[in-house]
Structure 1
Amino acid sequence: MAKCKVLHVVSVSFSLKYFIGNQFIYFNEKGYDFTVSCSPSKDLFEYAEKMNFKTFPVNISRSINPLQDILSIYKLYRFIKKEKFDVVISHSPKGGLIGMFASYFAKTPKRIFFRHGLVFETLTGVKKQLMILVEKLIGFCSHKVVNVSYSIENLAIQLQLNDVSKNIILGKGTCNGINDNIFYPRPRTEFKDKTVVGFVGRMTKDKGITELINSLDYLNDYEDFLLLLIGPFDERDVLDDDIITKIKTHPKIKYLGEVKNTAYYYNQMDVFILPSYREGFPTVNLEAASSSLPIITTMSTGCVDSIIENETGIFTEIDSESIAKAIIFYLDNKEERIKHGLNGVKFVTENFSESIIYNQIEDKLLQ
């Protein structure tokens, strides 16, 4: 029996380890043949060698660029026609637009779009309407649409982004599952004299970083408190200068920027926080929960699906005082902190482990 040929389309290679990751190895061992198409980069070719997949570089700009987008669609269309893929899977708005258009015109038997989030949630005016139109065009060209959370699916249905019959959710959500051989509880080795609340992600307004930083104004009485921030400063949704200055100079903030091993740093935290305005399904919340951390997050799209309230974490409003109150709850209640962390490990293991999600991907998408 010939191998099932699968093409993944993403805009940038950085996304591959989060959107697909160990699927490359898992499905390769089961006889699937994977190719990735995205903007060319050194990282793409290095990751392809490490994870044993083929590449077809094509420029996919993250912003709307009509001429470049048409050229990219045509180039990818010719490649898909030539290689005769059984399945084309595309991710994110621009990867989805290029991948679904190209595979639609190439008449690929299975066309699948992963809706990792809805960027227009924090947009307004013409930009918002344009992005809604893009989502509808992608949905029209797809055979199946994987919404990475129930709240994303509910919003997609409300806005009629695609035919409801195309919608799929893998398990209880997410796109790739959690590797509990990497994210698990370990003894702390740093910051032992501090109670550490941590954040992992882009330093951007959308993530609620402004409100998080300003919440420190309400935490002056907690001398052993430390806010540990991990992730790059965002170039598109730029923080105000005063917030950037606070991140770099505040005595209760430790900013590490990008790190290679986030699993290690989850183990240096007591609590994890993601005060985001919007998500698809926040993988960081699951990684942190798998590391036995209680989660503070919001009831925004995606985030609302990532905890069990008062069992694995608590919700906060997106304002500085509310965030501070949530942090104080865990600072003052160590027993609840530990209990919610232990519950989080069970929550992730039973619902979001890679083995569960990969079985769902094979059953619902590839067969």
Structure 2
Amino acid sequence: MSGTLLRLACTAAVAAQAVLAPVPAAAEPAPRHTVSQLLTGLQQLYRQAEAATETYNATAEKLERQRAEVTRLEAELARSRVALQGSRADAGRLAREQYRTSSGLGTYVRVLLAPDPQHALDEGHVIGELARERARTVHRLTAAEQRRDALARAARAALDTQLTLAGRQQKQRDEVLTRLADVDRLLAGLTPDQLATIAALERQAVTAAQQRLTTAGALPTARPASPAGDRAVRYAMEQLGKPYAWGAQGPGSYDCSGLTSEAWEHAGTPIPRTSQEQWRRLRKVPLNELRPGDLVVYFPDATHVAMYVGDGRVVQAPRPGEDVKVSPLASYPVLGAVRPDQAPATEAR
């Protein structure tokens, strides 16, 4: 029996503790209805864990953007301060020049006594204009500095908020992982028959769901991918066998939306990082119009995503303890599908 099934069975215990006491190593196999409850609890726990991970991913993405914005604002603020210092230095030099060339007489008298009255007028006009321009420049840059300071303070405050949120989400995710570890220890004595029954129940449920989609005509007929979709599928298929890991985007491991977002990034079409944002922002398409490269989104709150590869199957990073693999489209309850690109399909795959 695979280590994956052991981890899956172990994970379900928290949800099922109300109906199933810890099973000693020598205990008889649990009745079928109890194993079914274990499977239900397992699915609920994984859904909760994946929802927490996607929320964490979304926060991390916001933090990355916020850090970039703060860096940009700080750099702009530094440039404005340097420019302001230079302008003030220029204004100071102008003031000193005016002082040195001033005789203490009024402008009218200086013009009358000057050897070249026109030159004196021109010089006075230029100096006055330079002074006014410098004053305007200083005022403009001072206002800009004040604006930059306000923006920098706002950006830092926003970043602090996001960091606090990320810490909260990290704690929630860690709590899920702690519960899973506790269950691993609690149910280490499950028998091979119990594990086999859990796996068989899950396979039966997926087969039945896939058959319902087929009977309803919801599965697509063969459709060619777009050029970018073909590249995305090729990238995703190259990741087969790599492990699922929380918040991972490759290259050694992936979570569900990490795989789909990286595949489309390599195809030249960046898409949102999380499954929920992929569902919210990408164009929705009917299941029976799917083409390879489209994304299938699962659960009512869009907490899981996979990539359609044709023939009613998807490539996905399923859940902790499993590797990237090809699965039936109906591996989880389907919410709908989205298309990352609008390019026409290729003539042939």
What range is the shorter-chain TM-score in?
under 0.3
Query: Which structure's relative contact order is higher, taking Cα pairs within 8 Å and 6+ residues apart?
Result: 2
TM-score by length of 2: 0.22
Structure showing the higher strand proportion among its residues: 1
TM-score by length of 1: 0.21
Based on CA coordinates, which of the two structures has the bigger radius of gyration?
A: 2
Structure showing the higher helix proportion among its residues: 2
